[in-house]
């Protein structure tokens, strides 16, 4: 048997197998709407924006169909339905009605939550939702 031709064949096989290997570890998948706590990062109303204390505004969508929200000092829960691109509160809010100092965004946040189906997108671990010229973006935590 002539072994001289086996070396080039083995070399070609090695090179071809290297081309078929999977790329380096894939990047982490985007977080799902359900699961993480979403912390408010930015709010825009048309061309203006509002500064808020981010930890006072959070969303947490559970797999049991309940969204929990921190809105200023209020804790809110409500049933919701979600698709890959919209989310809608489907029932009444349960709100604690704490007496607290309201800030500029409390009413806006409640209106966004109480809207019809709200379009949203998730990119780079950021959830952005838009309603009638208002846009709020949250970061997964």
Per the structure, how many domains does the chain have?
A: 1
Establish if 46 belongs to a structural domain: yes
pLDDT tens digits along 85-140: 999 989 888 887 677 766 656 766 677 667 678 899 999 999 999 888 888 899 99
Residue 49 lies in a domain: yes
Cβ–Cβ < 8 Å for 77, 61: no
Q: What's the pLDDT tens digit per position in 27-39?
A: 566 789 999 999 9
How far apart CA 118 and CA 89 sit, in angstroms, is: 9
Residue 93 lies in a domain: yes
Residue 7 lies in a domain: no
On whether the CB atoms of residues 83 and 62 are closer than 8 A, the answer is no
Other CB atoms within 10 A of residue 5 CB: 9
| Arithmetic mean of pLDDT, 11-36 | 54
Contact 110, 140 (CB under 8 A): no
Residue 42: which CATH number? 2.40.128.270
The answer to whether position 2 is within a domain reads: no
pLDDT tier at 54 (50, 70, 90 boundaries)?
Answer: confident
Q: What is the extent of the structural domain holding 136?
A: 37-140
Confidence category of residue 7, pLDDT binned at 50, 70, 90: very low
- Look over the chain and give the mean of its residue pLDDT values, rounded to a whole number: 75
Give the separation between CA 135 and CA 45, rounded to whole angstroms: 7
Q: Is residue 119 part of a domain?
A: yes
Residue 21 covered by a domain: no
Q: Do the domain assignments include residue 17?
A: no
pLDDT over 50 (residue 4):
no
């Amino acid at each position: 048997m002539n072994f001289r031709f086996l070396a080039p064949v083995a070399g070609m096989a090695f090179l071809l197998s290297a081309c078929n290997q999977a790329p380096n570890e894939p990047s982490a998948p985007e977080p799902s709407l359900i699961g993480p706590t979403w912390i408010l990062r930015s709010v825009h109303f048309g061309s203006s924006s509002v500064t808020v204390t981010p930890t006072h505004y959070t969303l947490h969508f559970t797999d049991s169909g309940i969204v929990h929200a921190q809105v200023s000092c209020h804790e809110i829960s409500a049933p919701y339905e979600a698709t890959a691109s919209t989310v809608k509160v489907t029932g009444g809010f349960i709100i604690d009605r704490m007496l607290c100092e309201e800030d500029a965004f409390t009413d806006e946040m409640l209106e966004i939550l109480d809207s019809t189906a709200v379009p949203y997108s998730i990119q780079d671990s950021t959830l952005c939702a838009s309603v009638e010229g208002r846009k709020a973006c949250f970061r997964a935590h």
